[in-house]
Structures are given as C-alpha cells and as structure tokens.
Amino acid sequence: MVELQINTTQNVNINFTAASVGERILAYGIDWIIKIAYIIVTYQLIFNLFKVDELVGDMDNWSQAAIYVSFYLPVIFYTLIFETLLDGQTLGKRILKIKVVKIDGYQASLADFVIRWFFRIVDLNMFSGVVALIAIIMSDKNQRLGDMTAGTSVIALKNKVNISHTILEDLKQDYIPTYPNVIKLSDNDARIIKDTFTTAKASKDYPTLIKLRKKLIEVVEIKEMKQQSDIEFIDVILKDYNYYTQNM
C-alpha cells in the first residue's frame, strides 16, 4: 500500500493511499465494458437500423472512413471526456472510488488530462498495457508514464482524512478565543506548530514544548500566558488561530 502526502494550496498536508494496481486494472476493465457496450449499440442502431452503409455507398473511401470514425470518437476520447467532466474520474474509476489528482495539491486541469490521455498510446495501447503496469509497479507513487509527465497520480477515495492530518481544530460552537494576536501567524506557521506540537506531546518531549511555547509568546507578542501548562497554551493557540481564520 503506497501512501501519498499532498500539500494543498492552503499548506495543509493530507495523506492519501494510492490506488492499487488491481483497482486501476479493474476500473480500466469496467471502462472497456462500457466502451464495448457503446460500440455494440452504435453498430446496431447506425448500421442495421439506419442502414448508414447504404447511405454512404456512393462516397469515396476517405469520406466513408471519416463518417465511420466519427461514430466511434466517444470511444477514442472516452477517458479524456469523463476525467474532465467528472473531475478526474471515468465511470470505472467512480465505481471503484479512485480518482486522478495532482501531486502538488492543485486540482488537475484539462491540460493534465490531455497529457494523461495522450500517453495512453504508450502506456496502454502499446504492448497491451505492459508499459503502464511496469511503470506503476516501479514508481514510488504508483504512476504510469502519463501520470509522471502530467504530475498526477490516482488515489483511493476510501481514505478517511482525520482532522489531525490538517491544521484544523475541532472547535465547540460556544468557543471563546483568548489571544487575538494569533492572526500574525500564517497557515504554514500553524501547520508547522501543530506538527511539532503533536509529535512532542506524543513523545513527551518537554524541552521542545518549552521552546515552542517561548517562540509563540515572542512571535504572537503575548504579554501574559493564561494557561498553566505549555500543552494547554499551545492547544489554545491552535484553536484561536482556527477560530479567527475561519471567521475572517
């Protein structure tokens, strides 16, 4: 199981699990079933019911080929169309609850989806997908060549993201803040503080907690600490920061 850590534009670290090879293959198979169903229905309607082959019989070969190919364009552009419309998911990916995301935390753009779709020529259409399979297995982020080029990966949406993975704090509705000056901090500051605080508290690293408390008093310009312990003080700082930033 490959863990991915994505840093969002708000400097929030969120941990995801990369979609497994099995999940991606199964989603790919479901997509192909949908494509084949479309081809069968199209063939029955267009060629048997509407007798298109008779209508284009007098056209030259190039014109006939162009008309026939146009009916199958949805199959050719299936992945690109659905990943763009469904925010990184095809129907197969949606059923398997997996999704394409940017490694840097930004939302994948149309350009990213185009790059992934174009590289399917190498990844999936050459050597029956062996290239993609090898790339995913060898990549530390379970990426095929198209993902590596576009800076994307496919993640599993079954993950439950705990609030501890973010700078957010669980505040009560009647919460009353103590230190208004916490707005001097940035989201990145709050993330570093919470990461350091969580680690130090778990390992009972009291010297680090003391240093963190002193630094916060200095940066936030706190004249009087109203809590009895460093842990209580830092916890209030984080909650106050969330209170003010959420209500700005």
The burial of 92, by beta-carbon neighbours within 10 Å (0-12 exposed, 13-18 middle, 19 or more buried), is given as buried
Average pLDDT, the chain: 83
Which pLDDT value is given to residue 57?
64
Count the domains in the chain: 2
Q: Distance between CA atoms of 85 and 157, rounded to whole angstroms?
A: 18
Contact assessment for residue 19 and residue 1, using Cβ atoms and an 8 Å cutoff: no
**How far is residue 218's CA from residue 229's CA, in Å, rounded to a whole number?**
17
Element housing 137 (H / E): helix 130-138
Confidence of residue 234 (pLDDT cuts 50, 70, 90): very high
For the cut 70, the answer to whether the pLDDT of residue 169 exceeds it is: no
Q: Map 99-113 to HEC letters.
A: EEEECCCCCCCHHHH
Indicate if 110 and 48 belong to the same structural domain. Answer: yes
Residue in this structure with the two tokens 């990943």, named with its chain if needed: 83
**In this predicted model, which residue has the larger pLDDT, 71 or 144?**
144
pTM of the model: 0.61
Could you give the percent of the chain with pLDDT greater than 70?
A: 83
Please give the Cα distance from 129 to 137 (Å, whole number).
Answer: 12
User: Within this chain, do residues 109 and 71 fall inside the same structural domain, yes or no?
Assistant: yes
More confident residue, 85 or 126: 85
pLDDT tens-digit series, residues 14-66: 667 888 899 999 999 999 999 999 999 888 877 776 666 666 667 777 877 88
Q: What is the pLDDT of residue 186?
A: 82
| 161 within a domain of the structure (yes/no) | no
SS3 of residue 122 by DSSP:
helix
Q: 197: domain range?
A: 167-246
The predicted model gives 6-11 an average pLDDT of 53
Residues 141 and 178 grouped into a single domain: no
pLDDT number for residue 243: 84
Same domain, yes or no: 140 and 38: yes
Specify if 41 maps to a domain: yes
88 and 107 assigned to the same domain? yes
Tokens representing 105 are 């935390």
Cβ-count burial of 112 within 10 angstroms (0-12 exposed, 13-18 middle, 19+ buried)?
A: buried
Tell whether 17 and 131 lie within a shared domain.
Answer: yes
72/187 same-domain check = no
Which pLDDT does position 163 carry in this prediction?
43
Q: Is residue 162 part of a domain?
A: no
**Domain final residue, candidates 121, 156, 191:** 156
* pLDDT tens digits, one per residue of 95-114: 999 999 888 766 788 999 99
- Residues 31, 129 share a domain: yes
Residues of the chain above pLDDT 90, percent:
35
